Chain A
Amino acid sequence: MKLAHGRRVVQGAGILFGLFGVTGIGMTHILFPGLHCYACPWAITVCPVGLVQNLVIFGTVPFFWLGAMIVYGLVAARGFCGWFCPFGTLNDLLSFRKVRIRSAFSYGKFVVLLGTIIGAWALTDTVFCKLCPAASLEASLPYLFLGVARVNGPFLIHMATLGLSLVGMVLIARFWCRYLCPMGAILALFNPVSLLQLEWRSAECTGCETCVAACPMGIDPRREHDGHNCIKCGACTESCAPDCLALRYGPRRKQ
């Protein structure tokens, strides 16, 4: 149970970091390692997905963006989804039905990422932001109460995407993270090389499959511990009685 508690504390820190603007320090130069809207009134960090759309529109060679993504990828990759991302935490809190993942659909997040970039290029507009459920929750709703937003077409579209995502999350654990998140798609590319890693020691495995039942992403942690769908949350390590699954932090071991 210790790991689960530790993860809740880190997730809390992620939310605090996301909303640190409540102290009045304003926007910083930091890119957020997760899906967190920079239009959120209390955000102090820039959303990488929002920023890359703007960079495509401006025609900037995105060195700073790429560097930040590589660094986050090496530090924890999708571990940020499991441990830090506030929208991931919302998914986590609504994880009631840990059904198996539909592997083919899980490539949907790469399609969303591709569509986000092509959309920004073709329409010179931040198309994804207008559909993003994190923006619905963190920008549309707060600005309605702050007197900037009104109940209009774009607002209702935001509410619809948020509503659908929430229904998805309730019916399928981590629905957004599994199938649709473009930020998860970026971080997933670094899963095989990140310092945060899920290790499986096959010799001790009894094949009981409790880890499969425990995984909120619905994967088989024994086979897919470095795959693009593992969020390195460690739920499987706690369920594994013979201790053949473990989270490890450090350089990859040479074999």
Chain B
Amino acid sequence: MRRLLGVLSVALALAVCSASAWSQEGILTFSPEPAVLEISPGGRAAGHVAIENASPREADHIELTWTGSTEFALDPTPEGVAVLGAFAATSVEFTIAATRTATLGETRGSFEVIYTYCIGDLCYQIVESVPVALRVAAAAQTPPAVAAGAADAAAAEAPTHVSWRWIAFALAALLVVPAALLRREGRARVLLAAALLVAGGAALGLGVSLDQHKQAQAVGAVLCTSCVGIETVQTLSPRLSVAQAAAVDGLAKPVDLLVFYAPWCRSCPYAEGLVDLIASRNPLVRYRLVNAEVERGLAVEHGVTRAGRTVVPAILRVDTGEVLFGAENLGDRLVTLLEERT
């Protein structure tokens, strides 16, 4: 009975894990129009991606890139959307150019959409793939009726794109339950172990094909000070005290700063905001934001690492090479850093 309770609690944990991920899907929905893009080799076709925000918070910096076959390219690069408000909708116009050698027939490609979504001070950079159907045909040979039929087929296929992953995950995870409950020796164990081996191998392979190993490495490679409890998360709006503001106003020499952040670091917006506040008060203070995950080389070069680990948030004074880590008591530490002579 106790054994059953233990296993049930883990199964429940896995279910919660799944449910949480479900709940975070579908913040933005993307619908390419037309559903099948008619294009001729060497030609161009225009369309738009309708974007709907079904959430109570705004999404920022929405950008579209082409990740499908190299026989096609976005030309020109579509304009992104700076801010999409809560429950709002918009659309992004695009033009796809096909190479002269593009293979005739129906094919599928995809856009990669990157956007930022914030809950309070916690911001996520979300990457989604939006499938799009293309039909390459010599001009004037495409009967419109066939195109409409293909459009319906593509629309019916689109929603299954997400759900198969969860079904596959649930099937693999469900194998764990009988494995944990088995008490008797025998053939069942051998078969179950073999099934688990197949499921585990498949899950690993699928994970690698989805670049999840890189995600794991990224989580491990950058240390956010509030993530493992080096300090508490700073969620207040950045402010300067009277003394700090006076010290900033009194700076007479130009100072360049690099602000290292990670998209998922909760204290980073505070550090970024504080530096921005100082820079807007005194134009002699200039700064640039550096995504530590993307520009890891820069972090290593400037010593924004401790024992090989990139730490965020971190503020580097370029001329002295001095670095401040974390967000705790940052106002005073930053003013001291700025006041130091070279």
Residues of A within 8 A of B (CB): 21, 24, 26-29, 31, 37-39, 41-43, 45-47, 50-52, 54-71, 73-74, 103-104, 107, 110-111, 113-114, 117-118, 120-121, 124-126, 129-132, 135, 139-140, 142-143, 146-150, 152-155, 157-158, 185-186, 188-193, 195, 226-228, 251-255
In the complex, whether B147 has a CB less than 8 A from a CB of chain A is: no
Query: Which of B77-85, B152-160, B212-220, B239-247 is the interface stretch?
Result: B212-220
Q: Is the CB of A189 within 8 A of B180?
A: yes
Distance, CA A124 to CA B121, complexed state (A): 11
Q: Is the CB of A185 within 8 A of B193?
A: no
Chain B min CB distance to A149 (Å)? 4
**Contacts A50-B219, A67-B204 given; does A142 touch B307 at CB 8 Å:** yes
Distance, CA A73 to CA B197, complexed state (A): 10
B165, B190, B217, B232: the one contacting A252 at CB < 8 Å is: B190
Q: Is the CB of B225 within 8 A of A148?
A: yes
A51, A64, A125, A140: the one contacting B230 at CB < 8 Å is: A140
Chain A residues near B24 (CB-CB < 8 A): 58-59
A-B contacts at CB below 8 angstroms, number: 259
Q: Is the CB of A26 within 8 A of B206?
A: no
> What sequence of 0s and 1s flags, for each residue 1-15 of chain B, a beta carbon within 8 Å of any chain A beta carbon?
011011101101100
Chain B min CB distance to A43 (Å)? 7
Distance, CA A140 to CA B306, complexed state (A): 13
Distance, CA A188 to CA B221, complexed state (A): 28
In the complex, whether B205 has a CB less than 8 A from a CB of chain A is: yes
Q: Is the CB of A67 within 8 A of B202?
A: yes
Chain A residues near B176 (CB-CB < 8 A): 70, 73, 189-190
Chain B min CB distance to A111 (Å)? 7
B190, B207, B227, B231: the one contacting A63 at CB < 8 Å is: B207
Known: A104-B2, A153-B232; 17 extra A-B contacts, CB below 8 A, are A29-B214, A46-B219, A50-B220, A56-B20, A59-B24, A63-B210, A64-B208, A66-B200, A70-B172, A107-B5, A126-B228, A140-B230, A146-B306, A146-B307, A192-B180, A226-B182, A252-B190
Q: Is the CB of B306 within 8 A of A39?
A: no
Chain A min CB distance to B218 (Å)? 8
A-B contact pairs, 13 of them (CB 8 A): A57-B264, A59-B25, A60-B212, A61-B21, A64-B208, A64-B215, A70-B172, A74-B197, A110-B10, A125-B266, A158-B229, A193-B196, A228-B180
Residues of B within 8 A of A (CB): 2-3, 5-7, 9-10, 12-13, 16-25, 119, 122, 124, 165-166, 168-169, 172-173, 176, 179-183, 185-187, 189-190, 192-193, 196-197, 199-208, 210, 212-217, 219-221, 223, 225, 227-233, 264, 266, 306-309, 311, 325-326, 328
Q: Is the CB of B212 within 8 A of A65?
A: yes
**Contacts A74-B197, A193-B189 given; does A39 touch B169 at CB 8 Å:** no
B165, B168, B173, B307 interface centre (most CB from chain A within 10 Å): B307
**Contacts A63-B169, A113-B10, A255-B185 given; does A46 touch B17 at CB 8 Å:** no
**Contacts A59-B25, A71-B204, A121-B17 given; does A192 touch B216 at CB 8 Å:** no
**Contacts A39-B223, A67-B207 given; does A192 touch B230 at CB 8 Å:** no
